[in-house]
Amino acid sequence: MGWSSSRWGRSAGALFGAVVLAYLAGAVLSWQFFANGGYPAFFPPAGVTVAVMLLTRRSRWPLIVASIVVAEIVIDLKQGSAFGAALGYALANAVEPVVGASLVRTWCGGRPDLSQRKDLMKFAAGAMVVGPLAGGAIGAAVIATNFGAPWGVSALRWWAGDVLGVLVVGTPILLWSSQWPALRARWVETAAVLTTAALVPLTAFWQLVPASMTMLPLLVWAAIRLGMLGAALVGAVVAVAINQMLTTGHVLFPALGLSPTGAFAITQAYLAFMVLVAILIAQEVDARIRAVGERVIERRERIRIEALAELARQLAADLTPADIGRTVAAAVLQNVGAQALTLGLVDHDGDTLQWVTMAGYPPDVMAQFADGLKLSAPSAATDVILTGRPVILRDMADFEERYPTTAQWMTALEGSSAVIWPLITGGRTVGMLSVLWRDPQPLDEAQVAYVSAVASMVAQALVRAQIYADENARAAVLLAAVLPTEPPEIAGLDVGISYHPADAVHGLGGDWYDLIPIPETGATYLAVGDVVGHGLSSVEDMAQLRSAARALAFQGLSPGRIVTELNSFARHATKGRFATVVIAVFDPDTRAVAYAHAGHPPALLRRHRTGEIIRLAEPRGPLLGRLGGSDYPERQLIEGRVTAEPGDVLVLYTDGLIEAGSADLDDGIAEAERLVSEWTEHDALGQSCEQLSQTLSPAPRRDDVCVLAIRFRETD
């Protein structure tokens, strides 16, 4: 407790001291303008104080107010003001940032993001207009009381000086952390523009050239090349230079014949307007650059998804590990621009990693490790096998430090970056996939997600290939690999499953289900699907569809987008068969359930409070694999959304449940609704699903039956 209090005290002292020093420095600069020419210049501390308040918690604001009061009294007394007047000035300069920061935080819902047009306008209204008006009203009253100056004139001077101070000092402070790296990358250009901004206005005054003609090109250049922070910094330098000239009698618009007060006010207003316009230009430029970048990212994402779909289609035709290795090496090396790839499987003894393929490595490396790699040997590949977690290496130094005995894998290719991903099936790590780049890679979320998706598809393809020897045995093992025997435990959800293939002898069917958490988003992905047919071929199609759907779900795609991508995949991967699917994604933060159907019976949502059954029949899409990609409905036309309350139950099922006892599907769905409406919160979902299957579709069955139900619990 004592250490924590001491740390807080040091932090508070540092904040107090920093604000006092910054305030004194800005105030001395402003008073220097007073002393030289008699006209008040812009007031930099106004920008410092409001920016600091916007960047700190409200609990620290009293400390900031205290630092303002102390600094203002010190500077006023040094300038010869009476103590009473100094207190009045301190009050005005303390109220101003409190009012401005409070309004901005309220309007923006927290700290403003000045890169957003709405937040910038709210910042201008609160911190540059209302706040200085409040401070100016109090300050003008103090001036009128102590010196007899007209209140209106004093208020105008105060407000105009503080508006510019907030804009050219407060704005750079707020933008500094996010935009300084961009300026640092162009430090030579930044220094040159700032130096020019300091000298050109002075030269313009001496050469009798309108300062606006020299100021505008500089501000526009800074806005386009240096961003919002660069424009604000150039504005600050120009403001200092022009106000310095103003104190020596060089007014900005001499032809107007304005009084000193008018000349001062119009100068500050003009400067503020031009700087604000430059910042808005910079904001628009940044927005357009971001839009172009987003389009590039979207295009790359589309290409990546298409590449994954094509890889899945090719893997669906591969029946041996060697075929899979060749397909993966050719596709991945081309799609991600990598130099080398290895695909390995743990042998039957479980102590050696045997290579399925090694592509892109020099012959000496391939010869040295041709016999595989013992799992006891320290390496990135064995780490992945033993831990079941991926290894991501962004530079050669990291590789050499962690795995010195196998560093030749990287040095032989002059490699810079690598990703090694586990191949997991049935909860067991059976192998690994590694991708190596010669050029340094950011290994961002998109790249890592691509490797993860490829590994997921390769794992399923290898499982299928390894059980190719006996049709029924292969199909049984494949089914066990892709359909868990026990429902997974997911926080906030109760899960029940009932699965009965029509082929009770071999246990083979084309129905499938999936239920997985999405780590990146915290959402839960649910799916139930049905591939036409029975036996090995339908199980293979089912496994490919389930694997492809899971890979797409891990990309963070919405249910409607997954369905449209699955349709393109099904056109090539299901050997002319059709398939149906219902997909749902539950977001525990918003409790929203997004769902999409493709030729599948509608999901049922049982409301806990009323027992009402909601049939999620619309919107829906056609069967998978019947229509080409251009003819299939767009995502937004087949995706629906509903809110799930605690205690509600969502039931997904295949048509085998509702076809057995009735020739009319609507009658079958109605009977399922009646039975589900009788469920209670005390019933075990697994038993309820099993009872539903046995009641509506008892053995012997003509079609596979799959029921997946989840009950939404209260979340923390």
Q: Is residue 181 domain-shared with residue 99, that is, in the same domain?
A: yes
Structure tokens at 390: 């991926």
Q: Is residue 527 domain-shared with residue 567, that is, in the same domain?
A: yes
For the chain, the helix, strand and coil percentages under 3-state DSSP, each to the nearest 5: 60, 15, 25
Q: Which residues are CB-neighbours of 337 under 8 A, at least 6 positions away?
A: 437, 439
List the single range of 177-181, 302-306, 564-568 with lowest mean pLDDT: 302-306
Q: What is the mean pLDDT of the chain?
A: 82
**Residue 98 forms part of a structural domain:** yes
**Residue 302 forms part of a structural domain:** no
Instruction: Give CA–CA dist 215/132, Å, rounded.
Output: 25
Q: Categorize the per-residue pLDDT at 374 as very low, low, confident or very high, splitting at 50, 70 and 90.
A: confident
pLDDT higher than 60, residue 211: no
Neighbour count for residue 675 (Cβ, 10 Å): 16
Of 652 and 254, which is predicted with more confidence? 652
- Predicted confidence at residue 620, as pLDDT, reads 84
- Predicted confidence at residue 160, as pLDDT, reads 80
Q: Categorize the per-residue pLDDT at 84 as very low, low, confident or very high, splitting at 50, 70 and 90.
A: confident
Q: Is residue 34 domain-shared with residue 87, that is, in the same domain?
A: yes
Q: Which residue, 460, 495, 524, sits at the end of a domain?
A: 460
**Residue 465 forms part of a structural domain:** no
Region 54-66: what's the mean pLDDT? 90
Q: Is residue 550 domain-shared with residue 602, that is, in the same domain?
A: yes
Q: Which residues are CB-neighbours of 383 under 8 A, at least 6 positions away?
A: 391, 403, 420
pLDDT higher than 70, residue 41: no
Instruction: Give CA–CA dist 379/237, Å, rounded.
Output: 56
Q: Categorize the per-residue pLDDT at 263 as very low, low, confident or very high, splitting at 50, 70 and 90.
A: low
Q: Which residue, 290, 308, 337, sits at the end of a domain?
A: 290
H helix runs in 649-715, sequence order: 656-659, 665-677, 685-696
List the single range of 35-39, 368-372, 410-414, 588-592 with lowest mean pLDDT: 35-39
Region 530-551: what's the mean pLDDT? 82
Q: Distances from the Cα of 238 to the Cαs of 29, 125, 271, 388, in angstroms? A: 15, 23, 8, 59
pTM of the model: 0.45
Q: With CA atoms as reference, report the closest residue to 160 among 120, 129, 134.
A: 129
pLDDT in tens, 164-189: 888 888 888 888 888 888 778 788 88
- Predicted confidence at residue 585, as pLDDT, reads 96
Cross-strand bridge partners of residue 642? 593
Angle at 435 between CA 434 and CA 437, to 5 degrees: 145
3-state secondary structure of 512: strand
pLDDT higher than 50, residue 35: no
List the single range of 105-109, 211-215, 650-654 with lowest mean pLDDT: 211-215
pLDDT higher than 70, residue 192: yes
First CA to last CA distance, the chain: 29
**Residue 64 forms part of a structural domain:** yes
- Predicted confidence at residue 257, as pLDDT, reads 57
Q: Categorize the per-residue pLDDT at 2 as very low, low, confident or very high, splitting at 50, 70 and 90.
A: very low
Q: Distances from the Cα of 448 to the Cαs of 132, 417, 540, 598, in angstroms? A: 50, 12, 27, 29
Percent of the chain with pLDDT over 90: 23
pLDDT higher than 50, residue 37: no
Q: Which residues are CB-neighbours of 325 under 8 A, at least 6 positions away?
A: 343, 356, 357, 359
Region 519-525: what's the mean pLDDT? 89
Region 13-21: what's the mean pLDDT? 86
pLDDT in tens, 474-507: 555 556 666 666 777 888 999 999 998 887 655 6
Structure tokens at 581: 């699917």
- Predicted confidence at residue 8, as pLDDT, reads 47
pLDDT higher than 50, residue 361: yes
pLDDT in tens, 666-700: 889 999 999 999 999 888 999 999 999 999 988 88
Q: Which residues are CB-neighbours of 289 under 8 A, at least 6 positions away?
A: none
pLDDT higher than 80, residue 288: no
- Predicted confidence at residue 203, as pLDDT, reads 61
3-state secondary structure of 652: strand
pLDDT higher than 70, residue 435: yes
Biggest alpha carbon distance in the chain? 104
pLDDT in tens, 221-240: 777 787 788 888 887 777 77
pLDDT higher than 70, residue 466: no
What is the phi/psi pair of residue 462, to 5°? -70, -40
DSSP 8-class letter at 370? T
Per the structure, the count of domains in the chain is 3
Instruction: Give CA–CA dist 234/7, Å, rounded.
Output: 37
Q: What are the DSSP calls for 94-121, one per residue?
A: HHHHHHHHHHHHHHHTSS--TTSHHHHH
- Predicted confidence at residue 206, as pLDDT, reads 55
Instruction: Give CA–CA dist 297/446, Å, rounded.
Output: 9
Contact 412, 362 (CB under 8 A): yes
Instruction: Give CA–CA dist 391/434, Å, rounded.
Output: 9
**Residue 83 forms part of a structural domain:** yes
Q: Is residue 520 domain-shared with residue 650, that is, in the same domain?
A: yes
Q: In what order do the strands lie in the sheet with 649-653?
A: 493-500, 705-712, 649-653, 603-606, 613-616
- Predicted confidence at residue 651, as pLDDT, reads 97
Q: Is residue 409 domain-shared with residue 495, that is, in the same domain?
A: no
Q: With CA atoms as reference, report the closest residue to 471 among 518, 508, 418, 442.
A: 508
Q: What are the DSSP calls for 231-251, one per residue?
A: HHHHHHHHHHHHHHHHHTT--
- Predicted confidence at residue 36, as pLDDT, reads 41
List the single range of 78-92, 577-591, 592-606 with lowest mean pLDDT: 78-92
Cross-strand bridge partners of residue 419? 392, 435
Q: Categorize the per-residue pLDDT at 33 as very low, low, confident or very high, splitting at 50, 70 and 90.
A: low
H helix runs in 148-251, sequence order: 151-165, 171-185, 187-206, 211-247
Domain extent, residue 570, equals 484-712
Q: With CA atoms as reference, report the closest residue to 93 among 17, 23, 174, 14.
A: 23
The full length of the chain comes to: 716
pLDDT in tens, 314-323: 887 777 888 8
Region 514-521: what's the mean pLDDT? 88
Q: Is residue 453 domain-shared with residue 355, that is, in the same domain?
A: yes
Cross-strand bridge partners of residue 531? 579
Instruction: Give CA–CA dist 656/356, Å, rounded.
Output: 40
Instruction: Give CA–CA dist 357/433, Å, rounded.
Output: 10
Q: Is residue 76 domain-shared with residue 169, that is, in the same domain?
A: yes
**Residue 183 forms part of a structural domain:** yes
Q: Is residue 434 domain-shared with residue 514, that is, in the same domain?
A: no
pLDDT higher than 80, residue 207: no
Alpha-carbon Rg for the chain, nearest whole angstrom, is: 35
Contact 712, 647 (CB under 8 A): yes
- Predicted confidence at residue 562, as pLDDT, reads 93
Look up the CATH number of the domain holding residue 369: 3.30.450.40
What is the phi/psi pair of residue 517, to 5°? -80, 145
- Predicted confidence at residue 414, as pLDDT, reads 76
**Residue 313 forms part of a structural domain:** no
Q: Categorize the per-residue pLDDT at 39 as very low, low, confident or very high, splitting at 50, 70 and 90.
A: very low
pLDDT higher than 60, residue 469: no
Q: With CA atoms as reference, report the closest residue to 42 among 249, 242, 258, 280.
A: 242
Region 257-267: what's the mean pLDDT? 64
Of 661 and 391, which is predicted with more confidence? 391
Q: Is residue 567 domain-shared with residue 627, that is, in the same domain?
A: yes
**Residue 477 forms part of a structural domain:** no
List the single range of 58-62, 437-441, 654-658, 679-683 with lowest mean pLDDT: 437-441
Q: With CA atoms as reference, report the closest residue to 423 among 460, 449, 393.
A: 460
Instruction: Give CA–CA dist 654/140, Å, rounded.
Output: 77
Per-residue exposure over 325-363, b if at least 16 CB sit within 10 Å of its own CB, e if not = bbbbbebbbebbebbbbbbbbbeeeeebbebbbbbbbee
Up-side HSE of residue 250: CA atoms within 13 Å toward CB? 17
- Predicted confidence at residue 260, as pLDDT, reads 62
pLDDT higher than 70, residue 401: yes
Of 608 and 207, which is predicted with more confidence? 608
Q: Is residue 438 domain-shared with residue 567, that is, in the same domain?
A: no
Cross-strand bridge partners of residue 686? none
Instruction: Give CA–CA dist 248/86, Å, rounded.
Output: 27
Helices and strands per DSSP (H, E), number in the chain: 24, 16
Amino acid, single-letter form, for residue 313: R
Instruction: Give CA–CA dist 377/37, Å, rounded.
Output: 79
Structure tokens at 335: 């799609």
Region 650-661: what's the mean pLDDT? 89
Q: Is residue 447 domain-shared with residue 491, that is, in the same domain?
A: no
